[in-house]
């Protein structure tokens, strides 16, 4: 390289890091299957406040079902401690599309006829129907002005 003023710089030559391209080969051991995990599901929105006897929640399947992701069936309900205070809906998430809008599902829950206190802790719980493992829990506030007498 020539510079103004007569200074010269000479490159020392090509280094191995400049000319070598690393190549990786990955082989799956025969007979050993890779485990497919279930897709994840999230409850959309925040500050869930219930003011009527029925309530709707929007659930989103985060990834499409594929080779390494399997479908999941969830039981969705509202709980006070370990006791259900709503009906329990079973929802299957098995969408293979990459479009987020097509992976959303609405769940409608109906509260039981008991009285509710808006200061108590209630949770919307998503539980795996096969294993019984809790996948997600979201705090909800039940603030009903009028209780059903029917």
**pTM for this entry:** 0.70
DSSP 31-68: T-PPPPEEPPEEE--SSEEE-SSEEEEEEEE-S---SS
The tens place of each residue's pLDDT in the chain, 150 residues long, gives 556 666 666 666 777 777 888 888 887 777 666 688 999 999 998 888 888 888 999 999 999 998 889 999 999 999 988 889 999 999 999 999 999 999 999 999 998 878 888 888 899 999 999 989 999 999 998 887 665 544
Looking at residue 146, its pLDDT comes to 63
């Amino acid at each position: 390289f020539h510079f103004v003023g007569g200074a010269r710089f000479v490159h020392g030559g090509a280094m191995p890091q400049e000319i070598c391209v690393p190549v990786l080969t990955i082989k799956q051991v025969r007979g050993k299957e890779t485990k497919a995990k279930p897709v994840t599901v999230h409850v959309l929105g925040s500050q869930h406040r219930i003011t009527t006897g029925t309530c709707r929640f929007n659930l989103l399947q985060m990834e499409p079902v594929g080779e390494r992701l399997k479908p999941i069936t969830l039981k969705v309900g509202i709980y006070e401690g370990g006791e259900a205070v709503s009906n329990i809906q079973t929802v299957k998430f098995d969408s293979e599309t990459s479009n987020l809008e097509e992976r959303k599902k609405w769940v409608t829950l109906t509260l039981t006829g008991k009285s509710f206190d808006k200061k108590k802790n209630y949770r919307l719980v998503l539980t795996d129907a096969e294993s019984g493992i809790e996948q997600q829990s979201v705090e909800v506030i039940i603030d009903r002005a009028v209780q059903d007498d029917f």
